[in-house]
Amino acid sequence: MVIYTMKPIYLREQACARGASMSGRIQSIHATSTEAFVESFDRIENDAERDQIFISRYPQSRLLDLLDISEMKCYWLSLTQGTGTIEPSLEKINHFLESSIRDNAGNIYFEGMEWLISLHGFDAVHSMLRTLSERVSMSEWSVYISISGNSLDAREMSRFYREVPLLEIKENEQDVHKSSED
């Protein structure tokens, strides 16, 4: 079992200071695996009052080893139909996301974008993201999407970042230096 030890971080975005509200934004996080994505979004401070939704390629049973899902709604992006699953249909995903952001406030963490692109093509997924970005901007929700830096060619990555800007999560170098001296 992997246990993450968190070090203080800073978000490199002027309005995204630790603890600041990031409502109405859709952003991407570089991650090469579900574990890396969980580690990254675990560093983002969340208001306990906000809903938390995690859509993953992992079933809930595997997520138990990675994070505390007791206060988070988790959905498995899968061809298998059942409770707690979402089919990888862009129409169904779009409907689910739009109905989720209509009410309340919260954060949606979405992992599996590369798989959707392999199933539906970049242009179709990009179009869905453009629509989602517009909807999120008028809501009290924030959406964080996992993307691997080498999963798309340079042109596609540029188009992706236009709709879903990269949120860079940096460790505080001074604190890292201090902890290495201990």
Q: Exposure of 80 by Cβ count < 10 A (0-12 exposed, 13-18 middle, 19+ buried)?
A: exposed
In what helix (H) or strand (E) does residue 133 lie, and over which residues does it extend? helix 122-137
- Rounded CA-CA distance 156/23 in Å is 26
CATH class of the region 21-181: alpha beta
Taking the C-alpha atoms of residue 140 and residue 111, their distance in angstroms, rounded to an integer, is: 21
Measure the CA–CA gap between 164 and 61, rounded to whole angstroms: 29
Q: How far apart are CA 46 and CA 61, in angstroms?
A: 23
Look at residue 66 in the predicted model and tell me its pLDDT: 72
pLDDT of res. 22: 67
138-154 confidence digits (pLDDT tens): 999 999 999 998 899 99
Q: Where do the domains of the chain lie?
A: 21-181
Torsion of CA 90, 91, 92, 94, to 10 degrees: 80
Confidence of residue 70 (pLDDT cuts 50, 70, 90): confident
Digit-coded pLDDT (tens) for 83-105: 889 999 999 999 999 999 998 89
* pLDDT of 6 higher than 50: no
Residue 14 confidence (pLDDT) above 80: no
